[in-house]
Amino acid sequence: MKDVTKRYVNQIRDTNFKDFTHETIEETKKAFLDTIGCIIAGSRSPIGKSAFQVLGEMGGSEEATVIGEGIKLPAPVAAYINGQFSVGPDLSDNYKPGSIIISHPGEAVFPPVLALAEKTGATLRDVFVAVILGYETAGRYAHAIEPRRPEVYSFTTHYTLAAGIGCGKLLGFDERTLINALGMAGTLSPLPVTMPMWGFKESQRPASWHRDMPGHSGFAAVVACMFAMTDFKATSFLLDEETAYFKIAGSDTYHPGLLFENWGKKWAIDTITYKSIPSCYFNQPCIEAVRLLMEEQGITNDEIRKIELYAPTNLAKNFSYYPPKTPVDTASSVKYLTAMYLLTKNPGPDWYQRYEEYLQNEEYRKIARKIDVFEDAKLQQILEKEEKIFGRARITTARGAYEKTVDVVKGSYENPFDMQELEEKFLKLAGPVIGEKKADAFVKATRDLDFTMNIRDMISILHS
């Protein structure tokens, strides 16, 4: 396929607000509210606190808001910090064509687009167009390079492309400048992490607490667009096969036709999955099976004698990290997460903020002692052959034993959250940080969005 980069850039430039249905705009509202909620909660996460501690005191031009903190910093720095905030709670959205997750576009696209939108005074209409096309780029490029090599894990390379496209669209770049911005984004994008795909345990974690690291990508995308407005030149062929950028992204495979196939018929943002549990998505089927059994059978915590969780072999081996030794490790411990769900029925940021306190809580310990995690070879075969993630739970009580197998979780495209449920999630995440009054005002403003509104005014609701 020839001229892939040029064709893709012009496809982006030719797509505008009028090309999106009412349903797509409503889905974008959901993504907007969900990601802002994750950013605010993540400002209190260990990953978020580290980012703010390092970069928050650097100062500089007051161009964009560090959401959750209320201070303004240069746009690239704000994009970095907000990106790290968004990934901190492990509650960010997922894009999963078919069944396997190949991207978390919210944490990649929103922070840099919002930072440049504040810097330039863009409207919410401009922001939504940029975000939808950023999501589309994240999803399509990730899909085009699947399967990635198993020893390479990360989404950061195509995060940067998605963010670069979104930011370039926001800035109204012409063909030449957008091509240059995309080439620069590829040049500046972080390398993926060379580690096993399922390397969640501390002994297998040579790089960092968290492997997505969208802050790096957001920073790179904003800087790339700023460079593109100078005389600095980057490659004009980043997406072309001969450039082989897909190898840098951790793949030996590239299907560029997927960047164009059925363009505009259905957008990636239409099929986003949202999390209700602060954890890697791969943990959620087991926890969902427990939730459904408890509700359908009317089981109380006191009735539980034993809970057996069965997951694909790779997942059971690597998500059995218990007890979690750091706040970040709580998201990789299915036993901790299941016990927390049963204890609180109220997933939220305190699951990682107060994990040490919970581990010592006698009610929590009483539940956790009853939970065991097992490898299931049949579920592993399904994962490998069909790329479907199943979890199975068996709860034993005096009344009997009850079992359920789940692959579709609440919040997925097949069983979606409605706007009210995402508003409730936002209030749960944002309220403890910025106060219930401001959180509620932001929810109402999002619900009745005025697309002519300046993004600066929208963001100011969170901190005024």
Q: What is the pLDDT of residue 206?
A: 45
Cis? peptide before 256, omega within 30° of 0: no
In sign, the C-alpha dihedral spanning 100, 144, 251, 177 is: negative
- pLDDT one-digit tens code per residue, 182-191: 999 999 998 8
| SS3 call for 372 | strand
- Report the distance separating Cα 439 and Cα 39, nearest Å: 13
Paired tokens of 276: 């209700």
Q: At what angle do helices 22-42 and 436-447 cross, to 10 degrees?
A: 160
How many other C-beta atoms can be found within 10 angstroms of the C-beta atom of residue 436?
11
**Residue that has been written with the tokens 């720095």 in this structure:** 77
Nearest Cα neighbor of 411 from 328, 288, 266, 268 is 288
Q: What is the pLDDT of residue 145?
A: 92
CA separation (Å) from 64 to 168, 185, 218?
A: 17, 20, 13
Nearest 5 degrees, angle CA 421-CA 426-CA 429? 130
How many other C-beta atoms can be found within 10 angstroms of the C-beta atom of residue 161?
29
How many other C-beta atoms can be found within 10 angstroms of the C-beta atom of residue 300?
9
Q: What is the pLDDT of residue 198?
A: 52
Write out the DSSP string of 147-200: SBPTTEE-SHHHHHHHHHHHHHHHTT--HHHHHHHHHHHHHHPPPPEES-TT--
- Report the distance separating Cα 330 and Cα 184, nearest Å: 36
- Report the distance separating Cα 39 and Cα 187, nearest Å: 27
Paired tokens of 232: 């600095």
- Report the distance separating Cα 194 and Cα 109, nearest Å: 23
List of domains in the chain: 4-275+419-460 (1.10.4100.10), 281-406 (3.30.1330.120)
- Report the distance separating Cα 34 and Cα 11, nearest Å: 28
CA separation (Å) from 211 to 199, 205, 223, 274?
A: 10, 9, 21, 19
Amino acid 179 reads I
| SS3 call for 307 | strand
Q: What is the pLDDT of residue 346?
A: 82
Instruction: Answer whether 154's CB lies under 8 Å from 192's CB.
Output: yes
Beta bridge partners of 306: 396
Per-residue pLDDT of the chain (464 residues; tens, 9 = 90+): 899 999 999 999 999 999 999 999 999 999 999 999 999 999 999 889 999 999 998 899 999 999 999 999 999 999 999 999 999 888 999 988 665 667 899 999 999 999 999 999 999 999 999 999 999 999 999 999 988 887 776 688 889 999 999 999 999 999 999 999 999 999 999 887 655 555 555 555 544 556 678 999 999 999 999 999 999 999 999 999 999 999 988 899 999 999 999 999 999 999 999 998 888 888 899 999 999 999 999 999 999 999 999 999 988 887 888 998 888 888 889 999 999 999 998 877 888 889 999 999 999 999 999 999 999 999 999 988 888 889 999 999 999 999 999 998 889 888 999 999 999 999 999 999 999 999 999 999 999 999 999 999 999 999 98
pTM: predicted TM-score of the whole model, two decimal places: 0.94
- Report the distance separating Cα 144 and Cα 124, nearest Å: 30
- Report the distance separating Cα 304 and Cα 299, nearest Å: 7
Amino acid 383 reads L
Q: What is the pLDDT of residue 329?
A: 84
How many other C-beta atoms can be found within 10 angstroms of the C-beta atom of residue 125?
17
Backbone angles phi, psi at 78, to 5 degrees: -60, -40
Q: At what angle do helices 214-228 and 175-188 cross, to 10 degrees?
A: 140
- Report the distance separating Cα 70 and Cα 68, nearest Å: 6
Instruction: Answer whether 192's CB lies under 8 Å from 160's CB.
Output: no
- Report the distance separating Cα 442 and Cα 439, nearest Å: 5
- pLDDT one-digit tens code per residue, 217-252: 999 999 999 999 999 999 999 999 999 999 988 899
